[in-house]
Chains A and B, each alone.
Chain A
Amino acid sequence: MDEVIEAVKPLVQRDNGKKTYPYYIENPVTENRVERFLEAFAAVLHFTDYKPLLDSYCTSNAKCNRCAVTCPVYLATGDPKDIPCYRTNLLLETYKRYFTFGGWANSRFSNGTDLTEEIIDEMLDLFYRCTACRRCTTECPMGVDHGLMTRLGRYILSLIGIVPKALQVATREQLEGETHNTSKIPKVALMDTLEFLSDEIEESFGVRMEAPVDKYDREYVFFCAVSDYLLEPDTLMGNAVVLYAAGDWDKWTIGTQDFDGINYGLFYSDWHLENIIKQLVHEVTRLRGKKILIGECGHASRSAHDFVPVFAGKESYPVFNFMEYTLDCIEKGKIKLNPNIITERVTYHDPCNISRSGWIVEQPRKIIRSFIKDFVEMEPHGVNNYCCGGGGGLVSVDEIYNFRMNIGGKQKADQIRETGAEIVISPCANCKKQLKELVEFYKLPCKVMGLHDLILKAIEIPGAKSAEERKEEAAMFEM
């Protein structure tokens, strides 16, 4: 109970005049924050295209509160401050007051809408209570994109130095560090990991698959959430065996100068978003690749799919999520999955970035139905799914664990429990981490896996050990 209270209370607190923030901030700015915020806001409005959007939202925002009943955070707390419209309004009121004639005229009669230190505290708190899942956007009659507004709010805050340290440190390493990835994995460690994965596959399948590294003129250049190399070997091995079984082993490569699909810029900064995309595109160009293949990661897929065409210009490459590739292989009969291997009840979690904000809803379901007999849907699912509670980069912010468990992920935990599933498929590195923590926190009787973790178990490769044999060996090993 204490944890719930801890998670619900306002996150920015003053203790004897000393301010504590909800998340770690590197060198938090304490002076002239209002002026600096407005200066940053003005620069953003001057150089970007957000102005017409803000003009339009300011005028037509109906404040009807339909968004409230769609927001998993509000549903968990019931606090009006967690209503998406309330949060968006913090930014809109500031815009109206300082950047429109009407707001200026209004300010001659009242000081009520002036930006204050307290409002900035509220913003830095509320914009990082939102998981940017955009569920509210689908139910807003006026089409107000609260997810985009959260992102814009975070962007302006980041320009005055207010950003969770976890995100800042990761993007700094990705753009300026030696390793160019968020988990700081050096090339040597990558090669070791790939060697280890090849050994594992050989042990399991009896076939050696050496991962192609820095190969030129390949069709696909592969990027996954780099944390998968550390935490999700089964997902990566699943990806590899699909490529091998489909006969496309000589059509893909991993680049060593940039192998990280993660792009936290999608969550808080235009500048980071663009530069990380450019880095990714540069690697594909260096390798003379033709297509970008993104592993099981929601935001990596969305950021590459949506923003490579925007930022890369003529250098643009088509972007595919690995599940699209796998489905294509199944439909063309290039790979075969044994339908008798996965006997547990399975459910599927839609990562918001590729379902509601993306284009992948039916593809994974077709794959699942092709080899899993006991598949149950969560309610609601697809584009109406609930966020896992770790979206918008929150999952990387360890210090808000209580919030993510008790509030952000509460709806999702209830959903999973209701399905009675033993396996929750989550084809996203961030969702996977959050869901694994949720399962542990709520003691749910299930495990969280990637889709390709299951494909790894069920795939049949000619000339290799059969799926049945591998299952028996795995069972013996577990005993």
Chain B
Amino acid sequence: MEQWLDFAKGPLFAFTFLFMILGLFRHVVLQIYYLGIRKGRRLRNAPWRKIILDTLTWAVPVKHFIPGTAFFSSASFLSHIGLILVPVFLVDHVVLWEGFLGLNLPSIGKGVADVLTLFTIACLIVLFCCRVFVGRQRAMSGPMDYLILIMVFLPFASGFLASHPKFNPFAWDTMMLTHFLSAEALFVLIPFTKLSHIVLFFFDRVSGLHWQLRPGAGDKVADALFGKEARV
């Protein structure tokens, strides 16, 4: 088991983490290429002020807790606090980052991390229940929507149990292995699923830029499909 653990927190972690970073980097590069290079000078006309304000507002979307979705929105927003802080700043993780990346990050106390973890787990359960019990959300949900919630839930739950033996009904190393493997599976999933909003969030919000249509493109589409005939 020890060998498995070493493998999971060593080479497998390095591989999956790098995989995630490269996957996200690909999204960023493609978006910048398309927006920055292909649209080029047309971006000068874009509503930049609105785009930047929108992005900042959505980073703390308090004013968007609208009637009808307030419960879901609150759980969704609040879960992000733990989702960002615990994986990055938990003491054990800080050690890991230092070992792998040489980064010397500040850490949050164990107590704070515990509260954040439990809070995140509670929020994820609320989000899951919303999908199951709210008709309009169920209508739009597919297997992947549930799977992603479970995949995010697993590393948090297993990490909490592994660090609190008195609540843990399983062997410590089993729980740690579950923690590593589930986190690594999540790393792999991130670039391919909606979790990629980690980086795409900043690009989706710029839909204002996509209204800067390409001059002449309509003509080319029409020419390709109909030739030079009348096309009105």
Contacts and interface: CB of A to CB of B under 8 A. Distances in A.
Contacts of B27: 56, 59
Contact of B200 (A60, A148, A269): A60
Contacts of A43: 221, 224-225
Contact of A60 (B136, B204, B230): B204
B17 interface: no
A5 interface: no
A271 B232 CA distance: 9
A272 interface: yes
B72 A64 contact: yes
B229 to A, nearest CB: 12
Interface in B192-225: 192-194, 196-197, 200-201, 203-207, 210-222, 224-225
A2 interface: no
Nearest to B215: A311
A85 B219 CA distance: 30
A141 B214 contact: no
A30 B67 CA distance: 44
A62 interface: yes
A335 to B, nearest CB: 30
A55 interface: yes
B9 interface: no
Given A52-B31, A148-B207, A270-B213, A309 B39 contact: no
Contacts of B68: 68-69
Nearest to A169: B232
A60 B194 contact: yes
Interface stretch (B87-95, B101-109, B139-147, B166-174): B139-147
A102 B193 CA distance: 11
Contacts of A168: 232
A50 interface: yes
Interface string B122-158: 0000000000001111011110010000000000000
Contact of A53 (B73, B192, B207): B207
Interface string B3-38: 000000000000000000000000100110111001
A271 B193 contact: no
Given A143-B206, A273-B218, A274-B213, A56 B200 contact: yes
B164 interface: no
Given A64-B76, A65-B140, A271 B215 contact: no
Contact of B194 (A40, A49, A61, A65): A61
Nearest to A173: B232
A44 interface: yes
Interface string B57-93: 0100100101111001100100000000000000000
Given A68-B136, A80-B140, A274-B218, A159 B225 contact: yes
Nearest to A66: B69
Interface string A253-276: 000000000000000011111110
A48 to B, nearest CB: 4
Interface string A120-143: 000000000000000001010111
Interface in A294-316: 306-307, 309-311, 313
Interface string A371-399: 00000000000000000000000000000
B201 A50 contact: no
Nearest to B127: A64
A310 B139 contact: no
Given A62-B197, A80-B139, A56 B203 contact: yes
6 contacts: A48-B213, A49-B210, A49-B212, A49-B213, A68-B68, A143-B58
Interface of B: 27, 30-31, 33-35, 38-39, 42, 45, 54, 58, 61, 64, 66-69, 72-73, 76, 134-137, 139-142, 145, 192-194, 196-197, 200-201, 203-207, 210-222, 224-225, 230-232
Given A48-B217, A49-B213, A272-B218, 11 more contacts: A47-B214, A56-B203, A60-B197, A69-B68, A85-B140, A141-B61, A143-B207, A159-B221, A270-B213, A274-B219, A275-B218
Q: Top 7 closest A-B pairs, CB basis?
A: A271-B218, A52-B34, A69-B68, A145-B207, A80-B139, A143-B205, A270-B218
